[in-house]
């Protein structure tokens, strides 16, 4: 069944409202600094199985033409959606992001390791956004 009305649209099989979006549509959404400069894009999201909430966004940035690109997991609460930009805003400097826990395409982390999430949370706890 497919339909549209003022508050909903059906695009690529994913339903979207003013406050809800399918995870598949979040992937590849641009991420901008507070200055409006594009930093990267959302590569993926990590959803907490127990709460059903998005816990982390995997920010993809760096490299050139896909080579040397790094994936930076960051707590979801570091992002704020901007209708003006049609993407997410993050109030962290490029230096803070470059120093954050990250991995390359060939060395994905083991999220089951107890200390991995703590490492990410500790890092971003020291670098709180201003938004």
Q: What backbone phi and psi angles, to 5 degrees, belong to 76?
A: -55, -35
pLDDT at position 129 is: 56
Q: Is residue 61, in this structure, part of any structural domain at all?
A: yes
Q: Is residue 18, in this structure, part of any structural domain at all?
A: no
- Phi-psi group of 130: left, alpha or beta (phi > 0 → left; psi -120 to 50 → alpha; rest → beta): alpha
Which residues form the domain of 112?
A: 28-126
Which tens digit of pLDDT belongs to each residue from 91-125?
988 888 889 999 998 888 888 887 999 999 999 98
Q: What is the CATH number of the domain that holds 90?
A: 2.30.30.240
Q: Is residue 20, in this structure, part of any structural domain at all?
A: no
Which tens digit of pLDDT belongs to each residue from 62-85?
776 667 789 999 999 999 999 899
Q: Is residue 4, in this structure, part of any structural domain at all?
A: no
Which tens digit of pLDDT belongs to each residue from 38-57?
999 999 999 999 998 999 99
């Amino acid at each position: 069944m497919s339909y549209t009305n003022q508050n909903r649209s059906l695009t690529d099989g994913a339903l979207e409202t003013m406050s809800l979006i399918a995870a598949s549509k979040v992937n590849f959404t641009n991420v901008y600094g507070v200055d409006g400069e594009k930093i990267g894009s959302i590569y993926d999201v990590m959803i907490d199985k127990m709460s059903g909430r998005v816990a982390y966004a995997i920010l993809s940035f760096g490299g050139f033409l896909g080579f040397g690109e790094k994936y930076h997991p960051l707590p979801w609460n570091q992002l704020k959606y901007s209708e003006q930009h049609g993407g997410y805003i993050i109030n962290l400097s490029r230096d803070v992001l470059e120093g954050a826990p990250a991995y390359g395409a060939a060395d994905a982390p083991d999220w089951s390791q107890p200390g991995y999430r703590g490492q990410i949370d500790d890092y971003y706890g020291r670098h709180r956004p201003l938004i």
